[in-house]
Structure 1
Amino acid sequence: MEFVQEMIAQYGYLALYCLLALGIIGLPIPDEVLMTFVGYLASMGILRYTAAVVVSLLGSMSGMILSYELGRKIGKPLVWKFGKWIWLTPKRLEKAEGWFNRYGMWAVSFGYFIPGIRHLTCYLSGVSGMKRTTYWLFASIGAVVWCVLFITIGYFIGVQFV
């Protein structure tokens, strides 16, 4: 977390954008802690609340779109080749795709709130062939709620200490 604090202190909104995009793709960045910290910084006047929300939204959506496209372009061949190592057989993949085609759009929206799942839903959306417009709509809804919620929590925590 110290690294994250230093990055934001030195590079501001650019660091926030990059850290969120990379965190959504799957790098081990504590996204919820980062967002709460950003809200705290906004309460201290170091960052502007609205700008922090917009940049966070753009960063998280960039990561989600990149993960989706990776899943769409290289997902199935990668799963077919290495899926056996994680007990993902073609039959299980077909079953997962069926479930994902029925409920995946909601998993994308609510997956933001479950660390680990957030990263998989993006990738699996692409692998399952979910339509881009559907994916972007539900990913956007989840991103807006997630960003606003955690930044606001951090903001009000910061207000309590000022």
Structure 2
Amino acid sequence: MKDFVLAILMALTDLGYLGIAIGLMIEVIPSEIVLGYGGYMISLGKISWFGAVIAGTIGGTLAQLFLYWLGYYGGRPFLEKYGKYILIKKKQIDLSEQWFEKYGTGVIFSARFIPVVRHAISIPAGIAKMSPVKFTVYTVAAIIPWTILFLYLGTVLGENWADIKEFAQPYIMPAIVAALLLGVVYYFIKRRGSVNPDTINENS
């Protein structure tokens, strides 16, 4: 299976920027691996930094919009039945839905850095009919730093780009902590903002 995935990766990334975007869109291979190899190609001078970031951002965003529209039009029953074909498990849907209901739309940004819910968080956003524009803005805002980080790590690793998941751990943990803190801050700001002004006046 590993050789099969590697063959797909090589075939895609030989297409340059288009290959990076497609590799992220189909999500057959984890985004870290696709971007890591993209970073390796940057180090070889085959592609540019700017082009790779643009390709990674477009591919990653389109992949999430696909899940968003599946949630929007298909709903949870459809995804529970067919999600396994796009590597989305019921456990991921359950957890991401809990996060979305608890923390609101801001979690679309912060959850992008957290395993398990990172991809699936787009689904409850679609089910809840979140504004497509707002969803896209939050998604792009999270995907850009993610793309830059793994492209950079790929350039550092060079020929050892395949080890990127292990190499990235010291960088990912601070990102997860920061994302969780942002989510909590957004949650409390949202709660304060939703306090009924009439209730405040009555208690004054």
* Alignment gaps of 5+ in structure 2: 1-5, 83-89, 161-204
Secondary structure of the residue aligned to 2:119 is helix
What RMSD over aligned residues (CA atoms) do the two structures have, in Å? Answer: 2.9
User: 2: CA distance between counterparts of 1:96 and 1:117?
Assistant: 5
2:10 paired with 1:5: yes
8 Å CA contact 1:8, 1:16 repeated in 2: yes
TM-score with structure 2 setting the length: 0.61
Secondary structure of the residue aligned to 2:46 is coil
Instruction: Compare relative contact order (CA 8 Å, sep 6+) and give the higher one, 1 or 2.
Output: 1
Of all paired residues, the percent bearing the same amino acid is 26
8 Å CA contact 1:112, 1:143 repeated in 2: yes
2:15 paired with 1:20: no
C-alpha deviation, 1:48, in angstroms: 1.0
Secondary structure of the residue aligned to 1:59 is helix
8 Å CA contact 1:53, 1:148 repeated in 2: yes
TM-score with structure 1 setting the length: 0.75
* Alignment gaps of 5+ in structure 1: 88-92
Secondary structure of the residue aligned to 2:121 is helix
C-alpha deviation, 1:13, in angstroms: 1.6
C-alpha deviation, 1:107, in angstroms: 3.1
Taking a change above 3 Å as real, the CA distance of residues 19 and 98 of structure 1, as seen in their structure-2 partners, is closer
Could you tell me which residue of structure 1 aligns to residue 107 of structure 2? 107
CA offsets 1:72-128 (integer angstroms, 9 cap, x no match)? 01114426889xxx59xxxxx7x9757514424343223333344222111121012
Aligned length: 146
8 Å CA contact 1:101, 1:128 repeated in 2: no
Instruction: Tell me which structure has the larger Cα radius of gyration.
Output: 2
User: 2: CA distance between counterparts of 1:99 and 1:117?
Assistant: 9
C-alpha deviation, 1:16, in angstroms: 1.2
Alignment map for 1:1-162 (pairs within 5 Å): 1-9=6-14, 11-23=15-27, 28-78=28-78, 99-158=99-158
Residue identity opposite 2:23 in structure 1:
L
User: 1: CA distance between counterparts of 2:157 and 2:126?
Assistant: 37
